[in-house]
Every structure is written in structure tokens, then in C-alpha cells.
């Protein structure tokens, strides 16, 4: 009897182990890096028109990474991004908060000095000078900044379905917007507000709750945004792997949301490209991106811009690590076919030579230089052709007016043409860069404390936790049922 009992227990344990192994196998292993790159190459081989410069111009940074930077270190960080071609930075959030249903909203961490903090001694993190230093460095380096609002883990518990929670959190975010304008509104580098909460594709009609919250904040922003410069409102949604929706349903839902939200001319929806988490096959990601882009642009009167947030990381054993430049270049190229502009998540965390292996920054900057130089070449060629045509026309007109062709006319014409060719040859030598392809797949180095954006991983974590609990309860049940067999 004991032997039978042990067999049952051992069988249950094997089932639990297999289940846990299956659950914890990284999602990114659904496709190997090589397979993903091959599929991306296929998507990149069409003739659809791309952005002139397939590079990200705005980068996300999470506050923990730069929270302790001195003024000098912050300046070096911003200069690093500028050298890589970035024009702006999005600080993803400047506060963490909780509460709103049965309590008031409470600040749990802050990266700026705020009057909204109830008790500074209880904060998990308090870096009151971080945002000041970042804004100053951005201003000095002639770049732009989008300031993110507050982040809350309660968002992922679907607390937004609760009316009281929505009202209190929306009010708190409006208070933050007011404070941000008071502190940083005078800075020319202050470009807009980033709405930190991440919305996602779903089958639960969450859009009606999100639209209400977003409208509350946009309307407040509109109310106090009464200067000459109008500040952008930006959000970065993602395609959920939990909801396997048809493209038709995704289009309908997003079109409805665009119609209901009071977006203003120039506001930005910056969709995450979804390839960092790597659960979707690229072809499916591409279809969703195209569909959502069409929905966003369906209301031309609002003039909402559709950007894409290109993810330069991959999940390996549950940890975010830099993806190869080969994959990132393909993503940039593909995303540039559908977007008005590109952001990245995140050069600051994954290619930043301050915290990651320098090879990523070195390779990307070579790629960036090549892109810039290649963009200059058609313009140079056009100008050369234009100049030659002008000279040809001037010479021919002169000949016609005089109604005679002399040998010295032809000679002068050849001299001019030779001089142009000589000058253009010199200019081309000065601007031409080495165009070698940088396709090396590097597995070197990672940034410290790398974490992906909030969202899908949190939802999956809840599912994993639920499965574990169910397995444990099942073992307890079986144990209680068969312990009498002893």
C-alpha cells in the first residue's frame, strides 16, 4: 500500500515539475534568434515606402537607471544619446503610486521634489534632484524631453474598471501635470506629457474605461496649456499576447477608441513593436501594427500621429538582454514602413555604453552614420545634376542669343564642366563613409538591472502564479485523500 502511495506521489511530483518547466521556459524560445531574424528579413523585402531615416529619434529611460546621476554624469548620458542620433528622451515615470479604491492615492516613490508626497520618510525611493538634473542636461544639449506621469502596479489588477479608482487616479495625474507645468513649463526643451499607463489589445471592452481616464487628463492638459507652445500628449500601448484577436476586431476597437478620446493635433500614439517579448511571430506583429496604424490614421481631422516604439531587447531566461544589431536594424526598417516616427525601448538600458558592453553603442553609431550619409547622397547627386543643367541651359541660351557658335564657347563650356566634376569629386570624398554591413550577432554584456517595460510580463506572471497555486492545492488534495492508505 505504501508503495502504491509513493508511486502516486511521485507521479504527481513529475507532473508538477513538467508543468513548471513548461510554464517557466522563456517565451522568447518560441522562436530562436536566428529564426526570428530570417522571418524579419522576409518582411523587410517588400517595396513599401519607408521613412527617409529608419532610425529612432526618441529613447525611453526608466528612472532607476539615472536616479543617482550627478550633474556631470547626467550630461555625459545625454551627450551619449545625442551622438547616437537621438533628439529627445522620454522619462517613463517620475513617480510610483498606489491606492484609489478604499484609500487615497499614495506616493510610494518619487524622482522629483513634489508637494504631492504625503510622507517622504516612507518612500521606497526618493531622488528629488533627478528630474531637475535630467531637464537641465537636456536643455543644455539642445534636445527635448517628454515627462512621464505616475506608474502603479494596480493598473495590472484591472483596477481601472472601478469608478472610484479611475476618478482618484485621474485627479492625481492632473495634479501631477499641474506641478510639472509649474516646475518645468518655462524650459524650451519640455516637449510634452507621457501617459505612463499602458493600454493593450483586449476583448473586454476596457477601452471605455481608458478613454474616460485619458480624456480627463487631456482636457486638463488643454486647460493649462495656454502658452504659445502646445505640448504633446503621448502614450505607448502594446499588443497583448493574452488576447488572440482578429485584425478586424482590433481595427474596430482602436477606431472606436480614437473616436472617443479627445486627442489633439500632433498627439502621439507610439505602439510598442512587440518583438522584445518575442511571443508573437513577426508576421503577426506586422499585421497588428499595420491594422492599428490604419485605425489611428482613420480620423484625419484629429491629426494623431502614429509612431512605433522599437524594442532592442530580447527575453532570455526571463531576463531582458540586448538583441543583436542585425535584428534591431531589421525592426527599424520594417517599422519605418508604417510609422510617422520611431522611438526605442531602450537604447539607455540595452545599448548604453555606460551600463552595457560598448560594442552595441559602437556598432549602432556606425550604422547611424551610414544611414545619415546615405540620406545625403541622393541630395548631393540631385544638386550636381541640377547645377549641370543650369550651366548647360545658360550656355545654350547664350549661344542662341548670339546666334553663333565659336570654338572658345565650347572650350569655356568644357572648362566649367570639368571644374564642377572636380569640385563634386572632392565633396564626395569628404562625405562618403564606410558602408560595410554590420551584421555580427553579439551576445556580449548586459545593462545592470535590466527590466522590460511593464505590461505583458506582469499579466503572464499572474497566470504563472495561478498555475503554481493550482498545482500546490492539487498535491495537498491528493495527499489528504491517500494518506489513509498507510
Task: Express each pLDDT in 84-130 by its tens digit.
Answer: 999 999 999 999 999 999 999 999 999 999 999 999 999 999 999 99
At 14 the pLDDT is 55
In the predicted model, what is the mean pLDDT of the chain? Answer: 81
**What secondary structure letter does DSSP report for 231?**
P
pLDDT value at residue 157:
94
| Cα separation, 375 vs 165, whole angstroms | 49
| CA–CA dist 269, 266 (Å, integer) | 10
Domain presence at residue 410: no
- Mapping DSSP to helix (H, G, I), strand (E, B) and coil, where does residue 97 land? strand
User: Is there a single domain that holds both residue 299 and residue 350?
Assistant: yes
Q: What's residue 395's pLDDT?
A: 36
What is the Cα Rg of the chain in Å? 28
Q: Give CA–CA dist 318/314, Å, rounded.
A: 9
SS3 478: helix
Predicted local distance difference test score (pLDDT) of residue 439: 39
pLDDT digits 0-9 by tens, 128-160: 999 999 999 999 999 999 999 999 999 999 999
339 with 473, same domain: the answer is no
Domains held by the chain: number:
2
pLDDT at 253 over 80: yes
18-75, pLDDT tens digit by residue? 555 444 443 434 577 888 889 899 999 888 888 889 999 999 999 999 999 999 999 9
151 and 106 in a common domain: yes
Examine residue 384 and state whether it is found in any structural domain, yes or no.
Answer: no
What phi and psi values does residue 158 have, to the nearest 5 degrees? 60, 30
What's residue 477's pLDDT?
63
* Whether residue 83 sits in one domain with residue 67: yes
Write down the pLDDT at residue 457. 52
- Measured CA to CA, the distance from residue 361 to residue 349 in angstroms comes to 11
Residue 260 has pLDDT above 50, yes or no: yes
Instruction: Return the minimum-mean-pLDDT range out of 32-46, 171-185, 199-213, 350-364.
Output: 32-46
Q: Which of these three, 326, 357, 388, is where a domain ends?
A: 357
Residue 415 lies in a domain: no
Q: Specify the pLDDT at position 435.
A: 38
Residues 6+ apart with CB under 8 A from 326: 37, 438, 439, 440, 441
- State yes or no: pLDDT of 210 exceeds 50: yes
The verdict on 183 and 324 lying in the same domain is yes
**396/83 Cα distance (integer angstroms):** 47
Percent of the residues in the chain that have a pLDDT greater than 70, as a whole number: 71
Angle separating helix axes 407-431 and 358-402, nearest 10 degrees:
170
| pLDDT recorded at residue 4 | 57
Asked if 140 contacts 200 with a C-beta cutoff of 8 angstroms, the reply is no
Same domain? 171 vs 131: yes
Which of 341, 357, 373 is where one domain is finished? 357
330, 357, 384: which is the final residue of a domain?
357
In a domain, 299, yes or no: yes
- What is the mean pLDDT of the segment spanning 196-221? 96
Asked if residue 400 belongs to a domain, the reply is no
| Judgement on whether residues 12 and 47 belong to the same structural domain of the protein | no
70's grid cell: 550627478
Query: Which stretch of 294-303, 350-359, 373-382 has the lowest confidence by average pLDDT?
Result: 373-382
Grid coordinates 492545492 are at which residue? 473
Residue 477's domain comprises 2-30+455-485
258 within a domain of the structure (yes/no):
yes
**CA 454, CA 346: separation in Å to the nearest integer?**
13
Q: What is the mean pLDDT of residues 441-447?
A: 39
429 occurs within a structural domain? no
pLDDT value, residue 428: 44
pLDDT attached to residue 133: 98
Evaluate if residue 243 carries a pLDDT over 70: yes
- For residue 272, the cross-strand partners are 309
The C-alpha angle 331, 145, 376, rounded to 5 degrees, equals 50
- pLDDT, residue 93, reads 98
How far is 248 from 226, CA to CA, in rounded Å?
39
What's the angle, vertex CA 99, arms to CA 93 and CA 105, rounded to 5? 70
Contact call for residues 344 and 56 (beta carbons, < 8 A): yes
pLDDT band at residue 447, thresholds of 50, 70 and 90? Answer: very low
Could you give the angle at the alpha carbon of 26 between the alpha carbons of 29 and 281, nearest 5°?
Answer: 45
Output the pLDDT for position 452.
Answer: 46
In a domain, 208, yes or no: yes
Same domain, 124 and 266: yes
- Report which secondary-structure segment, H or E, holds 82: helix 71-83
pLDDT of residue 422: 46
Full DSSP string of 117-145: -S-GGG-SEE-TTHHHHHHHHHHHTT-EE
* 235 sits in which H/E element: strand 232-235
231 and 151 within one domain: yes
Shared domain for 123 and 186, answered yes or no, is yes
* Predicted local confidence at residue 343, as pLDDT: 98
Q: pLDDT tens-digit profile of 383-436?
A: 544 445 544 454 344 434 444 433 444 444 454 445 544 444 444 434 343 333
Predicted local confidence at residue 479, as pLDDT? 61
What is the per-residue pLDDT for 281? 85
How confident is the model over 153-186, as pLDDT tens digits?
999 999 999 999 999 999 999 999 999 999 999 9
Residues 98, 204: Cα–Cα separation, whole Å: 24
Contact (CB, 8 A) for 233 and 227: no
Q: What is the pLDDT of residue 425?
A: 46
How much is the pLDDT for 461? 55
Q: Identify which of 25, 30, 94, 109 has the alpha carbon closest to the alpha carbon of residue 62.
A: 94
Q: Return the closest-CA partner of residue 52 out of 307, 296, 305, 341.
A: 341
Residues 274-295: pLDDT tens digits? Answer: 887 656 788 988 999 999 999 9
* CATH number of residue 135's parent domain: 3.20.20.80
CA-to-CA distance for 6 and 356, rounded, in angstroms? 50
Could you count the other beta carbons within 10 Å of the beta carbon of residue 454?
20
Residue with more model confidence, 369 or 22: 369
CA–CA dist 31, 327 (Å, integer): 13
Are residues 148 and 109 located together in one domain of the fold?
yes
Q: In this structure, what C-alpha cell is assigned to residue 117?
A: 508626497
Beta bridge partners of 196: none
Mean pLDDT in residue range 353-377: 92
Q: How confident is the model at residue 310 (pLDDT cuts 50, 70, 90)?
A: very high
- Of the pLDDT bands very low, low, confident and very high (cuts 50, 70, 90), residue 353 is very high
Mark whether 17 and 108 lie in a shared domain: no
The answer, yes or no, to whether residue 307 has pLDDT greater than 80, is: yes
What nine digits make up the cell of 119? 510622507
Amino acid at each position: 500500500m505504501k508503495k502504491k502511495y509513493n508511486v502516486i506521489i511521485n507521479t504527481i511530483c513529475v507532473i508538477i515539475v513538467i508543468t513548471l518547466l513548461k510554464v517557466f521556459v522563456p517565451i522568447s524560445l518560441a522562436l530562436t534568434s536566428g529564426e526570428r531574424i530570417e522571418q524579419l528579413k522576409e518582411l523587410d523585402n517588400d517595396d513599401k515606402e519607408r521613412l527617409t531615416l529608419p532610425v529612432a529619434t526618441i529613447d525611453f529611460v526608466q528612472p532607476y537607471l539615472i536616479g543617482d546621476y550627478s550633474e556631470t554624469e547626467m550630461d555625459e548620458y545625454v551627450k551619449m544619446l545625442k551622438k547616437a542620433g537621438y533628439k529627445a528622451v522620454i522619462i517613463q515615470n517620475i513617480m510610483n503610486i498606489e491606492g484609489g479604491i478604499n484609500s487615497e492615492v499614495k506616493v510610494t516613490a518619487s524622482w522629483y521634489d513634489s508637494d504631492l508626497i504625503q510622507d517622504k520618510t516612507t518612500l521606497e525611493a526618493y531622488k528629488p534632484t533627478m528630474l531637475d538634473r535630467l531637464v537641465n542636461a537636456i536643455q543644455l544639449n539642445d534636445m527635448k524631453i517628454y515627462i512621464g506621469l505616475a506608474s502603479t502596479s494596480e493598473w495590472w489588477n484591472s483596477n481601472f474598471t472601478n469608478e472610484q479608482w479611475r476618478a482618484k487616479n485621474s485627479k492625481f495625474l492632473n495634479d501631477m501635470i499641474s506641478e510639472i507645468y509649474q516646475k518645468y513649463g518655462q524650459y524650451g526643451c519640455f516637449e510634452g506629457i507621457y501617459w505612463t499607463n499602458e493600454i493593450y489589445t483586449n476583448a473586454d471592452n476596457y477601452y471605455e474605461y481608458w478613454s474616460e481616464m485619458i480624456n480627463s487628463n487631456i482636457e486638463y492638459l488643454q486647460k493649462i496649456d495656454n502658452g504659445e507652445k502646445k505640448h504633446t500628449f503621448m502614450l505607448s500601448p502594446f499588443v497583448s499576447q493574452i488576447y488572440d484577436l482578429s485584425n478586424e476586431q482590433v481595427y474596430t476597437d482602436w477606431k472606436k477608441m480614437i473616436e472617443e478620446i479627445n486627442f489633439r493635433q500632433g498627439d502621439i500614439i507610439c505602439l510598442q513593436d512587440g518583438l522584445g517579448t518575442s511571443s508573437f511571430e513577426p508576421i503577426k506583429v506586422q499585421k497588428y501594427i499595420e491594422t492599428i496604424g490604419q485605425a489611428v490614421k482613420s480620423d484625419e481631422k484629429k491629426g494623431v500621429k502614429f509612431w512605433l516604439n522599437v524594442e532592442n531587447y530580447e527575453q532570455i531566461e526571463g531576463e531582458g538582454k540586448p538583441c543583436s544589431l542585425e535584428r534591431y536594424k531589421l525592426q527599424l526598417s520594417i517599422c519605418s514602413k508604417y510609422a510617422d516616427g520611431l522611438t526605442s525601448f531602450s537604447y539607455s538600458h540595452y545599448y548604453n555604453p555606460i551600463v552595457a558592453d560598448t560594442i552595441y553603442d559602437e556598432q549602432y553609431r556606425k550604422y547611424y552614420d551610414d544611414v545619415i550619409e546615405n540620406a545625403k547622397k541622393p541630395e548631393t547627386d540631385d544638386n550636381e545634376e541640377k547645377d549641370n543643367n543650369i550651366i548647360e541651359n545658360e550656355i545654350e541660351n547664350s549661344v542662341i542669343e548670339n546666334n553663333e557658335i565659336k570654338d572658345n564657347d565650347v572650350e569655356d563650356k568644357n572648362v566649367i564642366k570639368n571644374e564642377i566634376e572636380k569640385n563634386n569629386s572632392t565633396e564626395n570624398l569628404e562625405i562618403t563613409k564606410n558602408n560595410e554591413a554590420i551584421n555580427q550577432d553579439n551576445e556580449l554584456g548586459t545593462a545592470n538591472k535590466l527590466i522590460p517595460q511593464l505590461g505583458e510580463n506582469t499579466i503572464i506572471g499572474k497566470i504563472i502564479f495561478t498555475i503554481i497555486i493550482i498545482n500546490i492545492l492539487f498535491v495537498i488534495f491528493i495527499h489528504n485523500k491517500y494518506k489513509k492508505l498507510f
